[in-house]
Amino acid sequence: MPEVSAVVIGAGVDGLVAASMLARRGVTVSVLEAAEEIGGAARTLAFHPGFRIPLAPERLLALRPGLVWESGIDLHDLTIVPHGTSVAIGEDGRSLARHLDDEADLRALAALAPGDALRMPLFETMLARGGALADRLGLGEPLGVETARAFLKRSRRVDAALLALGADEAHECARLLSGALGALLDRHFADPLVKAGLAGPALLGSGLGPMAPGTAAGLLLAQVGAQLAPPRTGAHLMGGLKGFVEALGRAAAAAGASLRVNATVRELTLKHDRVAGVVLESGEALPADLVLSTLPARASVELLEAGPLREALLGQLPAAEPSVVTARAAFALERAPRWTALPPALHRHIGPIQLAPDLGGLERASDAARAGAVPDAPWAELHLASALDAGLAPPGKALLTVTLSPLPGALSEGWSAEAEAGLLDHLQARIGAVARGFEATIEGRTLALGAGAGAGSFRLFGRGAGRLDAGGRAGPKNLYLCGAADHAPLAPLGTAGLKAAKLCLADLSGLKVA
């Protein structure tokens, strides 16, 4: 391959995945990160002396083994600890513990809802089957901008996969891939808490309620990462997502990519409707044959040199703000909480605990957030993060982190101190209701917004990052979008970066032939 240089804007998961893949194939890559450290949404922030809040949710939902392999990460760099038990507490105060151990899991289910316990093994088998099919269809790389020929090749795989299934199983997979989560859970289970415990994590990041089509596929995400984390209880990635990004950073650097922090891009210069180079805030100019941007589409276009192309594209791209966001809260605690609402054996539980609204509650929370209001009781998942990652809290103390979803997207514009205090007070009271004495142990608290990933539900042939195409108008040919915000949600981690890199490589090999 002739000497090709690429600039990647943003050193989050997607940017680093793309950088690593390109560098491993011989492209000269510079990664430019505006913040003072790499990580993007995976960073941790100090909020109370000795305490740090990881901005990304702990739940390791969909880390495909393939991504680790393709990005050149040394698996020894990652330590993944499966959770033995994961708990859901319903609005009525009942709790359900799901266990990694099959027998213990069935016992716990049978104690709560015997009928549902009978159906769970079948349900989990169905999910595994659906997950396998989804993987073959390319759940990891939702078809977005792809050639018809590649699609036909894939559709033959689809044919083969469908033919291997009977009509019922094929339909079942279709319902999993494109149906509504609520309807799917209703047909399998009767107990609201069993359904709630499955629904909350599956909806995370979609911003939708369980009635919306395309939400059932959220259940498959965990299946896609099943080789690294058990779908039923999930797993903890030591060091959190930050640990993963650091491993990615090392892999990218080892492949020859250069990583620069405190490097804000001011402008993308154009030449004949192609990006010619990048100008930094400092005035430094870097030439580039390819530019991959992890910024949202509109923000990427805003960087383009002023001119008719920029104007035309801006006219086609609505100033979209995310309709919903996921928030992160953290409490700095004197000591680990005692979960008094759980059975005694779980009083010192350190795995995930969901405060799980039932299906109706999840639908209402989504409606409220999408209409711009803070929901009364959004889904919340608690992790005693310091129990596994000691560096997040001073010795002897505890850090409780909370993932809160969904909240109105308008909050990403910034919120008032009162709004923040109100949300935290409310959350604190919800936690206090399941852990007596919790509120007295709080030393500090904070609220931060997680990544404002685009909301929406899964589609097999979903919108995907890649080339910029706004209302049928194409952007510069050598500008690729690889940010999560422009990728369909409910895709495995790093998908946008992986896909943009593959597209670049396909284009490069095309160039060589020509």
Partner 1 sequence: MALERSDLTPPGGGGEPAERPVLVIGAGINGLASAAYLARAGRRVLVLEGRNRLGGMAASVRLDDGPVVSECAHLVTALHPDVMSELGLYRHGLRFSHRRLPTMLLKPGTTLALSEDPWEAEAAIAEIAPGDARAYRRFLELVRRFHEALDPLIANPPARLGGDEAALNEAAHLLGARIGRVSERDFAALATMLAAPVAEVLDGYFASPFLKGGLAFDGVIGAFAAPSWNGTFLSFLQRRFASVSGRWGACGHPAGGLGALADAFWNAARANGAELRLNARVSRIAVDGDRVAGVVLTTGEEIAADIVVSTLHPHATFLELVGARHVDVGFAEDLAHLESRGSVARLTFVIEGLPRLGTHQDEPAPAGRFVIAPDLGYLERALTPAKFGATPAEPAVEFAIPSVHDASMQHEGRHIVTALALHAPLRAAETDETRAAFADAVTQTITRVMPDFRRRVRRAEVLMPRDIEERFGARGGHWHHIDLVPDQAWCLRPHARAAAYRGPLDGLYLAGASSHPWGGVSGLPGRGAAFAILKDRGWG
Residues that bind partner 1 (CB under 8 A): 143-148, 151-152, 155-156, 159, 162-163, 165-168, 170-171, 174-175, 177-179, 183, 186-187, 208, 211-214, 315-316, 318, 320, 323, 360, 363-364, 367, 370-371, 456-457, 459-464, 469-472
Pairing state between β 442-449 and 479-481 = unpaired
Which one, of 346, 368, 352, 358, lies nearest residue 403 by Cα? 352
- Measured from the CB atom, is 169 or 443 closer to partner 1? 169
- Measured from the CB atom, is 165 or 346 closer to partner 1? 165
Helix (H) or strand (E) holding 414: none
* Rounded CA separation 467/476 (Å): 9
Q: Least separation, in Å, of the C-beta of 168 and partner 1?
A: 6
- Measured from the CB atom, is 147 or 416 closer to partner 1? 147
Q: Which residue has the tokens 């999840």?
A: 362
Q: Least separation, in Å, of the C-beta of 44 and partner 1?
A: 33
Pairing state between β 324-333 and 442-449 = antiparallel
- Measured from the CB atom, is 371 or 390 closer to partner 1? 371
Angle subtended by helix axes 114-137 and 167-178, to nearest 10: 80
Instruction: Give 353-383 as a 3 state SS string.
Output: EEEECCHHHHHHHHHHHHCCCCCCCCEEEEE
- Measured from the CB atom, is 72 or 462 closer to partner 1? 462
Q: Least separation, in Å, of the C-beta of 174 and partner 1?
A: 4
* Rounded CA separation 192/91 (Å): 10
Q: Least separation, in Å, of the C-beta of 14 and partner 1?
A: 19
Q: Least separation, in Å, of the C-beta of 297 and partner 1?
A: 10
Helix (H) or strand (E) holding 148: helix 148-163
* Rounded CA separation 357/355 (Å): 7
Which one, of 384, 340, 352, 400, lies nearest residue 84 by Cα? 352
Q: Least separation, in Å, of the C-beta of 455 and partner 1?
A: 8
Q: Least separation, in Å, of the C-beta of 406 and partner 1?
A: 13
Q: Least separation, in Å, of the C-beta of 288 and partner 1?
A: 25
- Measured from the CB atom, is 213 or 394 closer to partner 1? 213
- Measured from the CB atom, is 100 or 161 closer to partner 1? 161
Instruction: Give 420-471 as a 3 state SS string.
Output: HHHHHHHHHHHHHCCCCCHHHHEEEEEEEECCCCCCCCCCCCCCCCCECEEC
Pairing state between β 5-9 and 290-293 = parallel
Query: CA distances (Å), 302 to each of 266, 285, 296, 310, 475, in order?
Result: 10, 18, 10, 7, 12
- Measured from the CB atom, is 277 or 489 closer to partner 1? 489
- Measured from the CB atom, is 144 or 243 closer to partner 1? 144
Q: Least separation, in Å, of the C-beta of 336 and partner 1?
A: 39
